[in-house]
Amino acid sequence: MSTAEPTPTPATEPTPTTPPTPQPEWRHLHPLSPLLKGGIAFVAVLAYIVSQQADSFFGAQRDDPTNGHLGWAAVGVLVVLLGIIAGAWVSWRFSRFRVGDALIELRTGVLFRQHRQVRFDRIQAVDLGRPLLARLTGLSEVVVQSAGGKDSHLKLSFLTDAQAQQVREQLMALAGRSDEVAANPAAATSHHASAAGGSEWGGAQLTDEDYADLPAPPPVGQPILAIPNLRILQSILYSGPGLVIALAIPALVVSIALGVPEMVAWLGPMTVAVGSSHLKRLTQECNFELLHQGDRLRIRHGLTDLRTTTVPLHRIQAVEVSQSLPWRLTGWWRIQVNVAGAGAGGDDVTQTVLMPVGNREEALRVLTLVHPGIPRGAALAALEGDGPAEGFVTTSTRARSLDPLSWRRQGYAVLPEGLLTRRGGWYRAAQFVPHARIQSLKVEQGPVQRRRGVATVRLMSTVGPVSPVVAHLDEPEAVRLLAEQVVRSSQARQRA
């Protein structure tokens, strides 16, 4: 009888395991960060102490709030200072950040802890800020702007200047790998070339001659604008509120000298209110520089708070070039844009101004850089022209009674890349919105407009200072613009 021998079982080879990817280490902010964040309170306390000592300096009798217990008061002040230093150390100890493989993280707080994250594919820009106290200590803050708006921004306050530059460049490089691929320089060039070949949109054939006057894009890293501070100051004084301040201050001085309390009570608050807003604008727009960074624009500005802001070109949703009545004498223009993710107020204002003040050629240079497909003739007609030149569709004589000063300027022109609108007689404004960036359109018609047979077309863009509108078009023309623009925008989004 034969017995079957058991078949040997092959030995199981150990499966090689992939070692886990080491996570980057958490890094601390600068130790002076908590003290700089509370710098305003420190300056306020210091100003109070100086004001109290000023009385004795001029020989006045100052009050003693301690009732003779100056020693105990000094001890109390010392304890408070030690407590502030201890609290600042604890706050610094529990504030950490790290740059991972797919996101940046920030942890803060002791009792109420926060853990914020921003993915690289949601980063819109990485800016540098240098407030006055930070500049005195050689520190900077890094502001990571995400697509969720201002409330979702992540701030690293504060790092040394070298560390802030290093973190910014690292984040920009990592965000560029997963950023949108819209409107890169090659795509813009090819689109420009296709547009130059001819287009029949709007019933007008655009040929190579229409684009012959377009300036070449500046080299990457080349400064585009450097606005002198004197021009910034003059532009504020030449505005309507600036002229009011120039007249109100002498009147306020005369009212104080003559002892007229009624005039002081009326002019004082008005001058402070108007002057404070323009002083803020002056401090924000001084030292303004605009640099070309390929598919992005870098803006440097600020007097007491130096800021370096990055605006990706493909996130610009609409652009407006405007000129107030006083600026007509100097030939100055202002350029503002709507940027996806940026709001219409607060710190986001510094992202929406591409040129605070400049002449016509500087405005055309910036406009060409933002949207290279705008012919020079159409741009000049939008800024200073009127009537149907350069393919503009304007309002008819029906709108003369509704807009007697600028009814010949009101209108629009259809270009291959977007819609160009203009308005205003005294206050001139021209807007350009790419077809793919128009969110929706709306036709409005009030009772007076119905009686005149006209209507207003509004182009809905993202939140921002630019609100494109074509007012008082003939009713059939407004309906035609609405129907045709819906098709153009849909086709442009499909190509994008």
Pick 198 or 421 by higher pLDDT: 421
The highest-confidence range among 265-279, 297-311, 416-430, by mean pLDDT, is: 416-430
Neighbours of 286 (CB within 10 A): 18
Pick 74 or 369 by higher pLDDT: 369
**If pLDDT is split at 50, 70 and 90, which confidence band does 147 have?**
low
pLDDT above 60: residue 64: no
Phi then psi for residue 84, to 5 deg, are -65, -45
pLDDT above 60: residue 63: no
Among residues of the chain, what percentage have pLDDT more than 90? Answer: 32
Distances (CA, A) of 175 to 94, 301, 349: 27, 24, 23
Distances (CA, A) of 165 to 54, 100, 129, 130: 43, 17, 11, 12
Are the C-beta atoms of residues 431 and 319 closer than 8 Å to each other?
yes
User: Tell me, what's the pLDDT at 208?
Assistant: 44
The token pair that represents 203 in the structure block: 């019933």
- pLDDT tens across 13-34, in order? 555 555 556 677 888 888 888 7
pLDDT above 70: residue 408: yes
- pLDDT tens across 233-253, in order? 999 888 877 788 888 888 888
Residues 174, 104: Cα–Cα separation, whole Å? 10
The residues pairing with 144 across neighbouring beta strands, listed in sequence order, are 126, 154
Helix H or strand E segment including 226: strand 223-227
User: Region 53-74: what's the mean pLDDT?
Assistant: 59
User: Region 394-405: what's the mean pLDDT?
Assistant: 91
- pLDDT tens across 116-129, in order? 888 888 887 788 88
User: Tell me, what's the pLDDT at 180?
Assistant: 42
**If pLDDT is split at 50, 70 and 90, which confidence band does 207 have?**
very low
pLDDT above 80: residue 5: no
User: Tell me, what's the pLDDT at 459?
Assistant: 93
Measured torsion, CA atoms of residues 263, 265, 269, 274, in degrees rounded to the nearest 10: -10
User: Tell me, what's the pLDDT at 219?
Assistant: 59
Residues 389, 343: Cα–Cα separation, whole Å? 35
- Domains of the chain in sequence order: 27-47+76-178 (2.30.29.30), 201-233+286-495 (no CATH)
DSSP string, 346-376: GGGGGGSEEEEEE-HHHHHHHHHHH-TTS-H
pTM (two decimals)? 0.76
The closest alpha carbon to 331, from 382, 381, 292, 384, belongs to: 384
User: Tell me, what's the pLDDT at 179?
Assistant: 47
C-alpha torsion sign, points 248, 250, 256, 262: negative
Name the least confident of 33-47, 123-137, 343-357, 455-469. 33-47
Distances (CA, A) of 402 to 325, 385, 406, 426, 429: 20, 20, 10, 15, 18
Residue 439 CB contacts under 8 Å (≥ 6 apart), including other chains? 460, 461, 462
Residues 114, 44: Cα–Cα separation, whole Å? 28
Pick 369 or 87 by higher pLDDT: 369
Are the C-beta atoms of residues 467 and 458 closer than 8 Å to each other?
yes
User: Tell me, what's the pLDDT at 337?
Assistant: 93
**If pLDDT is split at 50, 70 and 90, which confidence band does 48 have?**
low
Amino acid at 208: D
**If pLDDT is split at 50, 70 and 90, which confidence band does 109 have?**
confident
Name the least confident of 93-107, 200-214, 323-337. 200-214
| 3-class SS letters over 144-158 | EEECCCHHHCEEEEE
**If pLDDT is split at 50, 70 and 90, which confidence band does 216 have?**
low
The token pair that represents 118 in the structure block: 């921003």
Are the C-beta atoms of residues 246 and 376 closer than 8 Å to each other?
no
CA-derived radius of gyration, the chain:
30
The token pair that represents 362 in the structure block: 């500087």
The highest-confidence range among 24-28, 270-274, 404-408, 453-457, by mean pLDDT, is: 453-457
Q: Look over the chain and give the mean of its residue pLDDT values, rounded to a whole number.
A: 79
Name the least confident of 35-44, 123-132, 441-450, 473-482. 35-44
Name the least confident of 13-27, 47-61, 293-307, 453-467. 47-61
Name the least confident of 49-53, 191-195, 213-217, 366-370. 191-195
pLDDT above 50: residue 190: no
Are the C-beta atoms of residues 114 and 152 closer than 8 Å to each other?
no
- pLDDT tens across 423-435, in order? 998 899 999 999 9
Are the C-beta atoms of residues 38 and 157 closer than 8 Å to each other?
no
